[in-house]
Amino acid sequence: MRGLLYLCCWLVVSGEIYAQLPESRIINGTVASVSDTKHLVSIRLKKNDRNFGSGHICGGSLIGPNKVLTAAHCLFNTSKKRYRKAKEFVVVMGTLNRYERNTGTIVSDVSSIAYMNTFTTDSMRDDVGVMFLRTGLPVNSTHPTVAPIQLATEPTPSGVTCQVAGWGRTEQLSNLSPIIAHLVKNTLSNVLLTANVTTVRHATCATIYSGSLLPGMLCAGRLRGGTDSCQGDSGGPLVYEGRVIGVVSWGYGCAEPGLPGVYADVQYYRQWIEERNGSSALTAPSLKHLLALSLGCAVWLWSKRK
């Protein structure tokens, strides 16, 4: 009986730990190629990555020598209701197998993060974030397995085939209870997987998800089901014609018929993404608010001198 009690306690604790992390999976994917995924990064919690590869929680896209695009919810600690600190993360680039560290692998601490203060886990509004790396690519250099990807500059047509990639579960676990699903977390893929999905008309997706589809969101998947990204491929890129057009954000289930995945629309947020740099990677208040505050202080000091 005591052994059963210990087991139940372990299950509860395990559930609480894993519930903090986005679940990660590509359903019905194939092994990715290096040439097509040089921009893919593995975002990890440093404290969980002592066994190299085991700390993976989200994907991301290298969009500059030291700049990574991901989802805001990847930066958020749901159990503590706060954003994580930059020092809690480590980012790994240049390897298809998340457990392998070779000569082409780049491992970097994170110097700062940026996100929009309007993001909430309730609505998933503005689910975009940026990370700045301490160790990135040298400017104007080439690397055999790592390269930035460009951002979308205009809306993507509906009905086109795109690619989504991530490290994650290779099967649908929605029919299992949450605790059992957590126990089979070892079904995460060791290697980077990719899958083809199709962009869905905004009007169609808005009908499917009713009021949950907000400005800045786009949908992609297969309406017949079977192939999809899911929460924990979270932060990873949706790519069309060599540009990242979406960031894996949310959905109801995974690869379910009639329920496409929802992505943050990169072209919608492009100006915000491009304006973030290492010095402006502020969480709260924003840089604009700090400048206004500084101006107000300067005016106040000037008035005191009169």
Model confidence at 106, pLDDT cuts 50, 70, 90, reads very high
- Known catalytic residue at 141: no
> What is the per-residue pLDDT for 108?
97
Summarised one tens digit per residue, pLDDT across range 137-150 is: 887 778 999 999 99
Summarised one tens digit per residue, pLDDT across range 211-222 is: 899 999 999 988
> What is the set of domains in the chain, with CATH numbers?
21-278 (2.40.10.10)
Summarised one tens digit per residue, pLDDT across range 73-102 is: 999 999 999 999 999 999 999 999 999 999
- Among 24, 42, 229, 234, the one annotated catalytic: 234
> What is the per-residue pLDDT for 285?
40
- Among 127, 228, 233, 265, the one annotated catalytic: 127
pTM for this predicted structure:
0.79
- Among 39, 56, 73, 182, the one annotated catalytic: 73
Encoding tokens for residue 252?
Answer: 């109801």
> What is the per-residue pLDDT for 279?
59
- Known catalytic residue at 182: no
Greater confidence (181 vs 57) lies with: 57
Model confidence at 189, pLDDT cuts 50, 70, 90, reads confident
- Known catalytic residue at 36: no
pLDDT at 272 over 70: yes
Summarised one tens digit per residue, pLDDT across range 15-42 is: 333 334 334 345 556 889 999 999 999 9
